[in-house]
C-alpha cells in the first residue's frame, strides 16, 4: 500500500489542551484514511480494463488512432498515491507570415484557426502520443505523399488547415485503411456517404480511397457541416458521429437551458475524444520537441502530377517499362481495386513528380494488353448527380431522425438538389410529419467529370 505523508507545522500549546487536540487530529486522519481507502476500492471495482493500441483494421471496433480510454483510467492493483501536479500550458509558437513557407508543416501552422482546447483530455491524448513515438513517426512518414495536396486544397477553399490533420485520426494516413463499419480510405467514408458525395464504388474503382476525389468530397462535407452549425467544433463532432446525432444532442442541451458547446453535449466517448485528439496532433505539429518527434521533411511543393491517358493502363507494365518502383505509383492510385486503370472509369494517372518524365516517355509507346476486360456497362454502384432536380421525383414524409445527407444517400440524389427542390437552406430543420420533395435520380452511367 502506498503511504501518504503529510508535513504539518507544529504549534506549541498547553499540556491540558493537547489531549483534545490530539483526539481531533486522530479523527481527521482516520476520516482521510477511510476516504482514500474508499477511493482505492472504487478504482478497483470500476476501473476499465487496459486497452492496447490496435490497428484500424483490427476486429476491435473501438480501435482508434491513440486510444479511446484515458490513460489514467487503466486498472490498478494498488491504492493510488495522492499527487498534486500542475502542468504548465504549452509555450506559444510564433509563425512569421511574411516569410514564404519552405515546408508543408510551416504552411499548416499558418492556417491553424480553429479555437484551441486546453484541458485534461488534451493532456491525456498528448501523453499517449508521447508514449507512442514509433506509431507517430510511422504515420508522419506515411502522410508525405498526400499532405501537400490536402493542405493546398484547404488553402484554396479558405478552410482551417487543422482539417488536413483529420486523416491522422481517421486512418493514420493509410489510404487502404478499412474499418469494421466498412468505412474506407484516408477520410473513412462509409459507402452511403461516399455515394452521396459522388464517390464511385464498383468492381473497378472505389473513390473513397482515391486521394483527389475523397479529399474534395471530405472538404465538401466538412464545409456543409460548418454551414449547418456555424461552429467548427460541432462540425468536426458531426463528421465523427453524424450530423443527425449531433443535432439531437444540441437540441437536448438547449432544452436543458444550456448553450450547446462541444464539451457539454451528451455524446459517446469516441466523439468526445475526437477534438482532444485533433488538438493534441495540432500541438505536436506546433511543438514537436515536446513529443520527442522530428517532423519529416515535406517540401511545400507538389509531390505528384496528374497524367491524362485515354486508354487502359496496366500499372505493373508501366512500372516495368519505365524501370521504376511499382509501389511509388500504387500508393498514389489506391482508388483502383486492381493495378489496372480503365479509361471508362478514369483517365487520370497520378505519378510522383520525380518519375513524371519516365512515365510520359513510356506512355508514348505503350499499348495495353488485349486481355484487359472492358468495364463498360458493368458498373455495380455509381454516384452521379441528377442533371435536373425538378424533373420527376416523388414526395416523402419526414420521419424522426431523418437528415438531408441520409435522405440524399437513401434516394441517391445530392444534398444540393434536395435543397433546391424544396427551397431549403443547409441550416433548415426537418420536421417529422412534413413532406419533402425527392427529385428524380439520373440513371447510372459510366461517364464522370474529372477534377
Report residue 269 as a C-alpha cell: 466517448
Going by their DSSP bridges, the two strands 313-314 and 340-341 should be labelled as antiparallel
Sorted by sequence, the CB contacts under 8 Å of residue 417 that are 6+ apart come out as 385, 386, 389, 408, 439
Is 170 annotated as catalytic?
A: yes
Q: Which of 170, 184, 207, 243 is catalytic?
A: 170
Q: In 111-230, which residue ranges form alpha helices assigned H by DSSP?
A: 120-131, 133-142, 144-157, 166-171, 191-196, 211-229
Cα–Cα nearest to 163, from 90, 113, 227, 230: 113
CA angle 259, 262, 264 (to 5 degrees): 60
Question: Can you tell me the distance from the alpha carbon of 221 to that of 360, in angstroms, rounded to the nearest whole number?
Answer: 35
Phi, psi of 144 (to 5 degrees): -55, -45
Cα–Cα nearest to 382, from 204, 180, 214, 219: 204
- Cα(first)–Cα(last) distance of the chain, in Å? 65
Question: Can you tell me the distance from the alpha carbon of 317 to that of 340, in angstroms, rounded to the nearest whole number?
Answer: 10
Residues annotated as catalytic are: 170
Amino acid at each position: 500500500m502506498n503511504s501518504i505523508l503529510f508535513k504539518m507545522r507544529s504549534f506549541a500549546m498547553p499540556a491540558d489542551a493537547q489531549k483534545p487536540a490530539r483526539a481531533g487530529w486522530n479523527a481527521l486522519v482516520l476520516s482521510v484514511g477511510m476516504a482514500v481507502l474508499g477511493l482505492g476500492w472504487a478504482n478497483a471495482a470500476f476501473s476499465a480494463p487496459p486497452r492496447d493500441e490496435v490497428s484500424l483494421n483490427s476486429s476491435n471496433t473501438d480501435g482508434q488512432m491513440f486510444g479511446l480510454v484515458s490513460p489514467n483510467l487503466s486498472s490498478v492493483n494498488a491504492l493510488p498515491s495522492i499527487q498534486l501536479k500542475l502542468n504548465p500550458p504549452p509555450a506559444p509558437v510564433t509563425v512569421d507570415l511574411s516569410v514564404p513557407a519552405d515546408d508543408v508543416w510551416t504552411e499548416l501552422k499558418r492556417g491553424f484557426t480553429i479555437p484551441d482546447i486546453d484541458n485534461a483530455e488534451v493532456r491525456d491524448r498528448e501523453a499517449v502520443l508521447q508514449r507512442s513515438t514509433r506509431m507517430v513517426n510511422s504515420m508522419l512518414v506515411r502522410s508525405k505523399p498526400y499532405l501537400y495536396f490536402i493542405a493546398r486544397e484547404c488553402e484554396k477553399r479558405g478552410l482551417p488547415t487543422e482539417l488536413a490533420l483529420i486523416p491522422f485520426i481517421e486512418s493514420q494516413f493509410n489510404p487502404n485503411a478499412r474499418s469494421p463499419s466498412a468505412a474506407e480510405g484516408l477520410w473513412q467514408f462509409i459507402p452511403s456517404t461516399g455515394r452521396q458525395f459522388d464517390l464511385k464504388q464498383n468492381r473497378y474503382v472505389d473513390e473513397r480511397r482515391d486521394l483527389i476525389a475523397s479529399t474534395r468530397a471530405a472538404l465538401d462535407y466538412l464545409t456543409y457541416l460548418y454551414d449547418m452549425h456555424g461552429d467548427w467544433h460541432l462540425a468536426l463532432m458531426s463528421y465523427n458521429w453524424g450530423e443527425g446525432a449531433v443535432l439531437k444532442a444540441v437540441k437536448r442541451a438547449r432544452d436543458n437551458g444550456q448553450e450547446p458547446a462541444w464539451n457539454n453535449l451528451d455524446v459517446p466517448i469516441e466523439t468526445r475524444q475526437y477534438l482532444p485528439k485533433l488538438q493534441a496532433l495540432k500541438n505536436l505539429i506546433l511543438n514537436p520537441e515536446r513529443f520527442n518527434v522530428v517532423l519529416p521533411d515535406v517540401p511545400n511543393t507538389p509531390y505528384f502530377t496528374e497524367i491524362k491517358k485515354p486508354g487502359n493502363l496496366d500499372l505493373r507494365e508501366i512500372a516495368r517499362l519505365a524501370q521504376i518502383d511499382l509501389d511509388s505509383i500504387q500508393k498514389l492510385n489506391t482508388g483502383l481495386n486492381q493495378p489496372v486503370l480503365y479509361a471508362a472509369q478514369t483517365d487520370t494517372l497520378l505519378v510522383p513528380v520525380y518519375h513524371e518524365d519516365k512515365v510520359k516517355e513510356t506512355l508514348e509507346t505503350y499499348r495495353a494488353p488485349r486481355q484487359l476486360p472492358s468495364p463498360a456497362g458493368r458498373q455495380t454502384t455509381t454516384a452521379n448527380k441528377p442533371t435536373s432536380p425538378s424533373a420527376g421525383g416523388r414526395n416523402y414524409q419526414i420521419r424522426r431522425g431523418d437528415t438531408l445527407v441520409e435522405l440524399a444517400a437513401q434516394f441517391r440524389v445530392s444534398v444540393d438538389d434536395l435543397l433546391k427542390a424544396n427551397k431549403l437552406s443547409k441550416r433548415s430543420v426537418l420536421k417529422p410529419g412534413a413532406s419533402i420533395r425527392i427529385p428524380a435520380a439520373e440513371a447510372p452511367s459510366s461517364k464522370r467529370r474529372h477534377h
